[in-house]
Amino acid sequence: MNTRSVLEDEIGRISAKLNEMEPGTEEYEKLSNLLHKYIDRRTELEKADYDADEKALAREEGNEFKTQQLNEAKKDRIAKVAMWVVGGISGGVVSIWAALKAFKFDGDGRIFSSTYGRDYVKSLIHFRK
């Protein structure tokens, strides 16, 4: 038996005894005080259970909020990586396109480069000496 059921049984037993007794006697007062004490204990137990339920609910809501924040952070990281990859690829494509545009081709296939074109290619390809 748990504490609550024992307490409920005791409250019922004392209440039944008080109904049989005559008010105003010393024994009646003792049992009445004991009954009030048990009722206060039952109220404290109910309050403790209510507080525990409230804490569990708040903890669950907090966990859901943290999970939602983690999911949003994950989506942000994925978006940033995707933008970085797309930016890197498009940056490379733009660099190659700009390098080709910087060169001037003649009909024989010889490259007549401007100084801008040479400098740009040198910045793309790091030559070692």
Closest CA to 33 of 8, 5, 7, 14: 14
Is residue 38's pLDDT more than 80? yes
Share of the chain above pLDDT 70, in %: 67
18 against 40, higher pLDDT? 40
Is residue 106's pLDDT more than 50? no
Mean pLDDT of the chain: 79
Please tell me the pTM assigned to this model.
Answer: 0.48
| pLDDT tens string 54-103 | 999 999 988 888 999 998 989 888 888 887 777 767 666 666 666 666 66
For the chain, the domains span 1-62, 67-128
pLDDT score at 86: 73
pLDDT score at 99: 65
Other beta carbons less than 10 A from residue 99's beta carbon: 15
Q: Which residues contact 120 (CB under 8 A, 6 or more apart)?
A: 98, 99, 102
